[in-house]
């Protein structure tokens, strides 16, 4: 039975307007974005399928645009989903920039995890901070393959000077999902720390993003 034939109190859009977002499941919220289903599959079932395909809402939030694909998800529905997911990421970034200062890895971990966790290739990124550890900007500096990305200290130094950063937090993802820092991760972090010391920029942390909680190299004593 099509959703339009359901009791009005059970339709996702009407339920959202009457009772608020908290009354809806993740699949129902996705159904509101999709707007409609396809013959034989209603919008809630499509939403449930997307969540199953991506391993849950957190993974869907971090999924690259090209990964949002399923029977019944045409260009219009796909565009609405991509726009909504990008708005969620930007909202996290806005919250991060509005913080008085970053004082722990958890302050930036949620944002960096949303940006990098489910990329199918490795990305090395940087949060630029002022002298009070307030966020100046975020940038993806290098992209690689499924098992690594080449990081060039000279380009990192140039980017920090361009943003007039006084401190930085690095982050990169492990597409394997295992967030344990490798020997290469530790070596490039030391190399970047030493290079940036020469221009007065402090490396506060380097977060490794995997399937679970990001691993802070600063908390591990590796910086």
Of the pLDDT bands very low, low, confident and very high (cuts 50, 70, 90), residue 99 is: low
Write b or e for each residue in 67-92: b if 16 or more Cβ atoms lie within 10 A of its Cβ, otherwise e.
ebeeebbeeebbebbeeebeeeeeeb
- C-alpha 25/C-alpha 201 separation (Å) is 45
Residue with tokens 């380097």: 206
CB 166 within 8 A of CB 180: no
pLDDT digit string, tens, across residues 119-174 = 788 999 999 999 988 888 899 999 887 556 789 999 999 999 999 999 999 999 99
Identify the pLDDT of residue 199.
Answer: 96
Interacting residues of 53 by C-beta distance below 8 A, sequence separation 6+? 70
Interacting residues of 150 by C-beta distance below 8 A, sequence separation 6+? 142, 144
Q: Is the pLDDT of residue 92 over 80?
A: no
139 beta partners: 126
| Token couple for 19 | 């009772």
Of the pLDDT bands very low, low, confident and very high (cuts 50, 70, 90), residue 216 is: very high
pLDDT digit string, tens, across residues 172-203 = 999 888 999 999 999 999 999 999 999 999 99
Region 200-215: what's the mean pLDDT?
93
Identify the pLDDT of residue 66.
Answer: 66
pLDDT digit string, tens, across residues 14-72 = 998 999 988 889 999 989 988 888 888 889 998 898 888 877 876 676 666 666 777 77
Identify the pLDDT of residue 103.
Answer: 66
Strand 167-173, strand 202-209: pairing: parallel
Interacting residues of 152 by C-beta distance below 8 A, sequence separation 6+? 142
Q: Is the pLDDT of residue 1 over 60?
A: no
- C-alpha 162/C-alpha 130 separation (Å) is 13
Interacting residues of 145 by C-beta distance below 8 A, sequence separation 6+? 121, 122
Cα dihedral 28, 31, 35, 38 in deg (nearest 10): -130
- Residues 68, 212, 112, 176, CA torsion sign: negative
Calculate ∠ Cα 83-89-94, nearest 5°.
Answer: 120
Residue 180 DSSP code = P
| Token couple for 215 | 């691993």
């Amino acid at each position: 039975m099509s959703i339009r034939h359901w009791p009005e109190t059970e339709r996702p859009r009407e339920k959202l307007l009457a009772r608020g977002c908290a009354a809806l499941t993740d699949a129902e919220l996705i159904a509101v974005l999709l707007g409609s289903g396809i013959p034989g599959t209603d919008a809630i079932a499509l939403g449930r399928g997307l969540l199953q395909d991506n391993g849950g809402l957190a993974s869907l939030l971090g999924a690259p645009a090209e990964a949002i694909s399923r029977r019944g998800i045409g260009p219009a529905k796909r565009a609405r989903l991509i726009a909504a997911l990008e708005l969620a990421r930007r909202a996290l970034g806005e919250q991060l920039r509005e913080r008085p200062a970053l004082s722990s890895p958890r302050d930036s971990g949620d944002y960096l995890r949303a940006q990098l966790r489910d990329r199918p290739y490795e990305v090395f990124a940087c949060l630029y901070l002022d002298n009070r550890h307030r966020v100046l900007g975020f940038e993806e500096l290098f992209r690689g393959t499924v098992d690594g990305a080449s990081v060039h200290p000279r380009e990192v130094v140039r980017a920090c000077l361009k943003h007039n950063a006084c401190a930085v937090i690095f982050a990169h993802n492990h597409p394997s999902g295992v967030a344990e820092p490798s020997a290469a991760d530790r070596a490039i972090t030391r190399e970047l720390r030493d290079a940036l010391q020469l221009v007065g920029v402090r490396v506060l942390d380097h977060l490794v993003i995997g399937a679970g909680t990001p691993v802070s190299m600063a908390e591990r004593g590796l910086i």
